[in-house]
Structure 1
Amino acid sequence: MRVFHFRDAEFGLKSIKERRLKVARILELNDPFEFLGANLKDREFRRAMNNIKEKLSETKGLLCFSKTWNNPVLWSHYADHHRGVCLEFEIPEKNLSKVDYVEERIQYSGDIDTSLMRRFLTTKFEHWSYEQEYRAFIGLDLESAEDGLYFMDFDDNLVLKSVIIGHSSLVTRLDVSTALGSIKGEVETFKARAAFTRFEVIRNENENRWT
């Protein structure tokens, strides 16, 4: 399945050069409702969910992707206001979980089992739906941490297919070629631009616009 990951220019090129992506921790995500999409009116349940969230963040991380690269809001929010890059990956669909977007908090009753936890981990408020998000959940190996950070290497489960340069980006062809190194012949690269008739980001077919 083809999915897209947005970064600013510095860390986007760094990810390409090092052939890896930084794994996000649950407590680091930018939505305070992450894993707390249930109705938490009950105090005991609220306390239990917050405890589970903290413990889960110690052993599980995730990589976040979008189904699309054309949405200008994604570029604004996650690629440094169109100055960054977007990386396209091929990932086995079985390794990805689609995020569901809902209007109301989940009404909970019963035991907290694996299925319910999975649902909490893939449920967000409907106003986030523009992201069209897919998530890959990663087990954290404490011994592999680098200054408290975790990474997933590019491999058969995370294959880089293309590098898209934001329309306001100063990243050059040489920058991308240098970062790609030996795999530059396997990865498509191109510059994006704002469409003329739609609120959409598209490929700039004028190759002279990217030096």
Structure 2
Amino acid sequence: MDIVLKNRLYAAPYFDLNDPMEGRYLYPPGSSGLDEDIQRIIKGEKEKIKVCSLSKDPENELMWSHYSEGHRGVAIGVKIDSLKYKVRPIEYDGLHKLGMHNMHSDAAIDILSHKLDVWGYEKEVRVFSKGNKTTIDVEVKEVIFGRSTSNQDKGFIKDLVSKVNPNIEFRNAFS
């Protein structure tokens, strides 16, 4: 209900995300690597970033199984202001290859925009924010019910959400 009441989503530090390879990167072949000062700067920049992970696919069976109590929960469809936040789709091409040729102010975001292909089913889009704020402002557009959400829960959620914002739409996943 916090999402609907306050129009916000949680944004986590990268090291709290569930992929153990999160935030890692590769040096180019034949390179002696990046010096310790550059590595320290990159680490510091990554630590300033908060990440909100979303999926482009509200019909993904695995995502419903992993993240919504076995299809009994809901997914929340939101709109993000891309002028306020950096929004990037994840590239499932392995770890980011970082070298002096692609060092720039958003190098940490580039690193956090690449994942191993095993995660590709997520169809993830990330919203990046810098600073101490741990939330991302959103506009809630819809509530999507899982295929096993009980009618009682659907009714309760519809009543509650409609009282907060009658413009939010409701639908069933996989219909």
Same fold, TM-score > 0.5, yes or no: yes
Count residues with an aligned counterpart. 169
Q: Counterpart in 2 of 1:8?
A: none
Task: Give 1:184-203 correspondences, 5 Å limit.
Answer: 185-192=166-173, 202-203=174-175
Q: CA deviation at 1:76?
A: 1.2
**Deviation per residue, 1:12-66 (Å, 9 max, x gap):** x342234321111111000121120325998974977875565345422021111
CA–CA separation in structure 2 for the residues paired with 1:109 and 1:14: 41
CA–CA separation in structure 2 for the residues paired with 1:72 and 1:182: 29
Q: Counterpart in 1 of 2:16?
A: 28
CA–CA separation in structure 2 for the residues paired with 1:14 and 1:78: 17
Long gaps (5+) in structure 1: 1-12, 145-149, 193-201, 204-211
Q: Counterpart in 1 of 2:155?
A: 173
CA–CA separation in structure 1 for the residues paired with 2:90 and 2:112: 8
Find the residue that maps to 1:63 and give its secondary structure: strand
Q: CA deviation at 1:109?
A: 3.0
Q: Counterpart in 1 of 2:108?
A: 117
CA–CA separation in structure 2 for the residues paired with 1:172 and 1:74: 20
Letter in 1 for 2:104: D
Please, what TM-score do these two structures have when normalized by structure 2? 0.78
Q: CA deviation at 1:132?
A: 1.0
**Deviation per residue, 1:64-106 (Å, 9 max, x gap):** 1111101101111222221221011122456421110115x44
Q: Counterpart in 2 of 1:60?
A: 49
Inter-CA distance 76–52: structure 2 relative to 1 (3 Å threshold): farther
Q: Counterpart in 1 of 2:140?
A: 160
- Relative CO higher for 1 or 2, CA cutoff 8 Å, sep ≥ 6? 2
Contact 1:40 1:46 in 2 (8 A): no
Letter in 2 for 1:151: T
Inter-CA distance 14–118: structure 2 relative to 1 (3 Å threshold): closer
Find the residue that maps to 1:32 and give its secondary structure: coil
CA–CA separation in structure 2 for the residues paired with 1:90 and 1:131: 18
Inter-CA distance 28–117: structure 2 relative to 1 (3 Å threshold): same
Letter in 2 for 1:110: M
Letter in 1 for 2:99: S
Percent of residue pairs identical:
23
Contact 1:38 1:120 in 2 (8 A): no
Contact 1:16 1:180 in 2 (8 A): no
Inter-CA distance 127–50: structure 2 relative to 1 (3 Å threshold): farther
CA–CA separation in structure 1 for the residues paired with 2:136 and 2:67: 19
Find the residue that maps to 2:57 and give its secondary structure: coil
Find the residue that maps to 1:175 and give its secondary structure: helix
Q: Counterpart in 2 of 1:6?
A: none
Q: CA deviation at 1:123?
A: 0.3
